[in-house]
Each structure stands twice: as structure tokens, then as C-alpha cells.
Structure 1
Amino acid sequence: MNRHGRVPVFQNGSHIIYNTIDIIQYIERIAVVSSGAESISASSREVIEWMQKIQDWDPKIFTLSHIPEKYRLYVSKFIRQVAIARMSESPELASDYHRKLKEAYETEEKLKEADVLRRSKDHLVRLLDEVERQLSETPHLAGQEFTMADVMLVPVLARLELLDLENEYIIGRPNIAEYWILVQQRLSYKKVIGKYFNGWRKHRTLLKAWFLVRIRSLLKRY
């Protein structure tokens, strides 16, 4: 799986899928078949609706707005340097890297606009409020069982914790807070996310990312 611009791309042989939810459903079907299940049941309409609601919130601006400016600008500069270097190394891809370069500049401009930051935050708040109401009725987003809708929600909550925003966005919503505690007990969470987000490992995750960027910049290995 790779990304072309901001569009997710999944390729399995000659089969190529571009939509995030379609990719998830495709992988879900593969998992069901691999498990030896006799029948394949696609995600329900309710699950897909929740997946769409979660996907509609773009976390990019919100996340960047909560990163200290000096670090954010350093990484932004590094990304621009990479794009410029790639443009000179691969002229045939110059238009693609020019698009990435333009996006980097546009992102920095958006981060200066209070309305853009407010809309991103308001969108997140509306989403979490809706999740909070749903979890007052069911233990998971789409009912009694953990589904792909929950799989898409978990990274949103993990992102808030990584940014030290759980008190503002999670703890104040008791149903989400309880849900988040239970989710973190799942073996799949512990294997995929938990080991990077708990205790000192959380800071190591951030430090490792920063260290790699710093080293690559110094060695100019793009």
C-alpha cells in the first residue's frame, strides 16, 4: 500500500483500489477468506457510515497545529528540501514533486489561518460528540461487536493521546473514556499501537521520528 499525493492506493497484483474504505473492506474480505470462514459478510451499512464519518475528518491540520512551531517548521523545511532534490534527480517526476512542494507551502499558510484551525477542531468535536452519544447506547460504534468502524476510530483516539490532548477530548466524554480503556486492553491494540504509545515509549516514538529526520537532513539522504 502506498500513497499518491493524498490519495491512498492499494495494489494486489493487477487489482488497484484508491478509496480508503474500499481498501479496508477489501482487506477485510481477504482476512475472512484466510480465516477459513464458510461465508463472507461485508461490513454493514451502519459500519460503513461510521467509517465515512471518521474518514471525513482530516487530522493533518489539527495535528500540525499542536506541534511546537520550531519543530514543525524544521520538518516542513526538510520536506521541501526533499521535494526540490527529487525534482532535480528525477525530471520525469518533476510535476509530482512540484505538487508536493506546493502542498507543503499551502499547509504552512493554512496553519496561519485561525478559521482553518477552528474548523478542523470543530469537526473533530462534532465527531467525538456523536461517538459519545452512540457509545451511550452500544459498547462499540456499530453495535455489540468490535468492527472496522472501531478500527478507524482507534487511531483518532491514539493521536489525541500522543498529542497529550486526552484530558480535553477523551476524559471529558465518559463513554469514550470507558471505551478507550477497554480498547487498550485488546491484544491487537497492544501489538500494533500500545507498545509505542504507553509510558516512556510514547516519548521514544516522538524522539525516534525527530532523530531520523535530523540525521537524514545532516547526511542529505533523501
Structure 2
Amino acid sequence: MQLYHHPYSLDSQKVRMALEEKGIDYTSYHINPLTGKNMNVDFFRMNPSAKLPVFQNGAHVIYRAIDIIQYLDRLAVHLSGEIPPVNTEVHQWMQKVDAWNPKMFTLTHTPVKYRAFVSKFIRRVLIARMAEAPDLASMYHVKLREAYETEDKVKDPDIMKQSEEELSKLLDDVEAQLSKTKYLAGDEFSPADSMFVPILARITLLDLDEEYISCRPKILDYYNLVKHRSSYKIAIGKYFNGWKKYRTLFKTSFFLCVRTLFRRY
């Protein structure tokens, strides 16, 4: 089993937490989206969406985080030989968490100069890959157009407001649920929690705890609880707890600056 992912990818964090919770062995491949590695020809041929993560088990390839996590759930049941009761509440929470797209929220809360620098670099990567693989040029052009469209969307205050409102509604629903249960879908950590916890980590990474987490006491207690889980430490804490996030971000910033300086895209 192989997982193509990166610590910066929120969906990758979801899948890695699920893998660690179930104790499933896999081969890890880091693909850094901020440096355009997800646009490399070999990876792009396998996955023209260029999105992370990608999970491969033999000839079976899965691209969406929620689909991967549900597959892992079925796989774990098959390996154990047990048939647990169907938990519809877990499935419903997974769908609700998956419905919120963190991309616009992340971009609108990223300093403009950094966002513009990375965006320009990625566009240059796409143009370079068009020349490198002419047979994929039309698909690379689609990604290039998406990059320009994303830049326009980030400047739209209505889109930013909508993303923030959707997040607040999700957090309010979670706060209400946690007043009744220890975890998102009951008193046991479930795949729904594996999907939700990285959202809290993204809020922390953007230094928005006070606005979205600290004002919700049940979520704050829950977040402090899950930080002690080994799955959190491996998938998120290893890269973003405290000073570690500066090390993680510095490595990518240095790489981008060097590649830009030498025009190596």
C-alpha cells in the first residue's frame, strides 16, 4: 500500500491519521504541492487532478480523502474478520466535515505576498511542464486556468465570507455534539474524528485559535485531548507543533527561493 501525500495537505493529514489509528502499514511518498511536485509528469499522468492524497493498493487507486478513509475502514474490518455494526452517525459526520472546502479559507488568511509568490511559482511550473510533456499540455492548461481563477476568487470578499460562515456553522454543530459525546460520533475516536481534527490544526497553523477554537470550550477540550493521540503526533504534531511549523515552512520557502533564483521550475 502506497500513500502519496504531504504534511501541508489537510486531506493528507486526514488519511494519515486514519492509517495510524488503524495501524495499517504503508509506503510513504512526499509530494509537496507548494513546490509544484504534484505537477511532475509521472505523478500527473497517474493523477491529472494533481490533488493530494493519492492512495494505491495494488491496482486499486483512490483519490478523495473520504473515499480513502472509508476504504481503510472496510479493509480493517476485512483483516480483523469481525463485522461491527454500521454506524450511520460516523458516516453522516464524515460527509458533513467533507462538505467544507478549506482551500479558500486557507488562501484568504495567508499573507498576500506569500500567496502571490507561491501562485506565480506554480504557474511557471505548469508552463514548464507543458513544454516537457506536450501530450499532457491540454490537461496542464486546465490546471493553469484553475490557478488564475483561484487568484480571482481569493479577491472576492463574498467568497471569503461564505467560507468563514460555513466553517463557523460546522464548528457550532461540533460544539453542540461534543456537549453530548466525548468524540464526534460517540465515546470512541472514529474516522469522523480523523477527518475533523486536521481542520482544527489548520486553524491553529493560521493563528486563528482565538476566533474559532478558544471561544468554543467543548472543542477546545476535545482538541487538547486528541493532541495526545499518537496518530495526531505522527500526522500533524511532528511537523507543526510549536517551533516545528517554522522549520517546516522555512524548508519550503528556501526551496522556492532557490528554484526561483535559478529559474528551475
TM-score by length of 1: 0.91
Q: How much does 1:182 deviate?
A: 0.2
Equivalent runs, 1:1-222 vs 2, <5 Å? 1=3, 3-5=47-49, 9-34=54-79, 37-41=80-84, 44-222=87-265
Percent of aligned positions with the same letter in both sequences?
A: 56
Q: Deviation string for 1:138-184 (max 9, x for gaps)?
A: 01010010000000001100000011011110000000000000010
Write the letter of the residue equivalent to 2:75: I
Q: How much does 1:208 deviate?
A: 1.9
Cα distance 1:56–1:6, how it changes in 2: closer, same or farther (>3 A)? farther
Q: Output the CA distance in 2 between the equivalents of 1:149 and 1:99.
A: 33
Q: Secondary structure at the match of 1:4?
A: coil
Say whether the 8 Å CA contact 1:51–1:152 is kept in structure 2: yes
Say whether the 8 Å CA contact 1:29–1:40 is kept in structure 2: no
Q: Secondary structure at the match of 1:122?
A: helix
Q: Output the CA distance in 2 between the equivalents of 1:64 and 1:132.
A: 25
Q: Output the CA distance in 1 between the equivalents of 2:189 and 2:246.
A: 29
Q: Output the CA distance in 2 between the equivalents of 1:7 and 1:137.
A: 35
Write the letter of the residue equivalent to 1:12: N
Write the letter of the residue equivalent to 1:27: L
RMSD over aligned CA atoms reads 1.9
Return the structure number with greater relative CO, CA threshold 8 A, min gap 6.
Answer: 2
Q: How much does 1:43 deviate?
A: 5.9
Equivalent pairs counted in the alignment come to 220
- Unaligned regions of 5+ residues in structure 1, if any? none
Runs (4 or more) in structure 1 with deviation over 4 Å come to: 6-9
